[in-house]
Structure 1
Amino acid sequence: MMNSVNKAATNGQIAMQTPPVVSAQEWEAARQQLLVKEKAHTRARDALAAERRRMPWMAVDKTYAFETPSGKASLLDLFLGRRQLIVYRAFFEPGVFGWPDHACRGCSMVADQVAHVSHLNARDTTLMFASRAPQADIARLKARMGWTMPWVTITDSFDADFGVGEWHGTNVFFRDGERIFRTYLIKSRGDEQMGGTWNYLDITPLGRQEVWEDSPSGYPQTPTYKWWNWHDSYEDGAAPDKKWVEVSDAGEIALRTPGAQ
């Protein structure tokens, strides 16, 4: 039987019909029952990411130009030497509500959720925001809002060509030498999950690059957890910290224990 929270009714609001209050044992039993579905959801999410890594690629042959804090740049330049590039189309420009003090409320909320990009960089991945606002306005907005991700200015048809001319979205690209391929697009409610390191990596062609993942043959993979580091301590090619290896090994054993989450 549901409990009725009547306090709100005294303020003219509709009373909430809340779940029952149970004992600790009953609560844990209910949690374990729901955990079965949560684990199935996690496995389904992993399987979807594995399918995403096998999506066909689209060659990008057109040339695009962007403005950056250091001058003009091509799409190839936006990779910053890495193999993977994630570009979020944020709406900050004349005509967008909030201009010139703020970007779109939704795009701003997405920006507020972005994790430290060094973790993506450690997986050979660059995250880039892109808008049509001039660089001076972007720099001012980033300083006001405390955002630090790279943010470029679109100067041509890039947004229209990649399905984000009228609405926000996240495109993913892969670089093979100087050849560029489009590998995926997330937009609309798909962008709700973006911001976290894992969710970004899960939409890339290389994934998280850990040995447990179901990836095509030859894809780069390293031992689970071992590459994780403090965001100010990543070093190119540095060996995993020995103490962290011990801790992460223990964590892997715990996760393999029957009943582990």
Structure 2
Amino acid sequence: MNHPPIVSTEDWQDALSTLRVREKALTRQLDALAAARRRLPMTPVEQDYVFEGPDGPASLTDLFHGRRQLIVYTFMWHGADHICSGCSLFTDNVGHPAHLNARDVTLALTSRGPLDDLLALRRRMGWDLPWYSSLNNSFNTDMGAGDGFALNVFLRADDRIFHTYSTTARGVERLGSNWTFLDLTPYGRQETWEDSPEGWPQTQPYQWWRLHDEYEMSEDLSR
């Protein structure tokens, strides 16, 4: 297995300083992008969605839990025997909700699956996020998730709900801290799509992802 070239501390610091210039430029670009996102127009949500939650039927308004802003992650669901490892990885990355709540934001999950199955997985994974079944409404399709996953943002204003932002694919991936941490390491995510030096360890993308309680089992089977 190859590794980065070995240089003196002075040369390493010079190379790091050169990279830092690019990192700071990117940070400013991301700040500008966030500023543009805050200035996006919004569109009213006219559909009266009814979800199934632990306490019974819930409207989209109920998902706000009294706050003004709502982020909904649609967790891809193809059955209890086919849990999406990528959605699970993303959900594992979500921190304590108190920090979002302090800024008037609620984060919730929805899935087109039976509520009992969703809550069983939540217990298994140790997640605390509120999770609602959208099995009997068109929320997933209307919000761009379809049979997959997506992240959508909403605002309550003047007794109405507005759709302010939506993303999916790598737009969601960018929000996951595990991917961000891996991007800081010498070998990166170790996936074949990455632009890495010759000899770097790489496997096919996504195939290494597991539910967090399945990694040890996978390692045992590979021995």
Scaled by the length of structure 1, the TM-score of the pair is: 0.65
**CA radius of gyration, larger in:** 1
State the Cα distance separating 1:35 from its structure 2 match. 0.4
The residue number in structure 1 matching 2:117 is 137
Is the CA contact (8 Å cut-off) linking 1:88 and 1:171 kept in structure 2?
yes
State the Cα distance separating 1:132 from its structure 2 match. 1.7
Q: 1:118 aligns with which of 81, 85, 98?
A: 98
The residue number in structure 2 matching 1:166 is 147
State the Cα distance separating 1:123 from its structure 2 match. 0.5
1:184-213 residue CA offsets vs partner (Å, 9 max, x unmatched): 0010111112246xx9xxxxxxxxxxxxxx
State the Cα distance separating 1:50 from its structure 2 match. 0.2
Are 2:3 and 1:35 equivalent residues in the alignment?
A: no
Q: Equivalent residues in 2 for 1:75-114 (5 A)?
A: 75-92=60-77, 96=78, 99-101=79-81, 103-114=83-94
2-structure distance, mates of 1:132, 1:19: 45
1-structure distance, mates of 2:176, 2:104: 17
1:162-190 residue CA offsets vs partner (Å, 9 max, x unmatched): 11113211000000142010000010111
Structure 1 segments, 4+ long, off by >2 Å, are none
Q: What do you get for the CA RMSD once the two structures are aligned?
A: 1.6
2-structure distance, mates of 1:19, 1:159: 44
Is the CA contact (8 Å cut-off) linking 1:114 and 1:194 kept in structure 2?
no
Q: Equivalent residues in 2 for 1:205-224 (5 A)?
A: none
2-structure distance, mates of 1:118, 1:193: 21
The residue number in structure 1 matching 2:45 is 60
The residue number in structure 2 matching 1:206 is none
Is the CA contact (8 Å cut-off) linking 2:50 and 2:60 kept in structure 1?
yes
Scaled by the length of structure 2, the TM-score of the pair is: 0.75
The residue number in structure 1 matching 2:107 is 127
1:78-105 residue CA offsets vs partner (Å, 9 max, x unmatched): 111101000011012xxx2xx3255211
1-structure distance, mates of 2:132, 2:70: 13
Aligned pairs, number: 177
Shifted more, 83-92 versus 101-110: the winner is 101-110
State the Cα distance separating 1:109 from its structure 2 match. 1.1
Which of 1 and 2 has higher RCO (CA within 8 Å, sep 6+)?
A: 2
Give the share of equivalent positions with the same residue, in percent: 50
State the Cα distance separating 1:106 from its structure 2 match. 1.3
2-structure distance, mates of 1:193, 1:63: 31
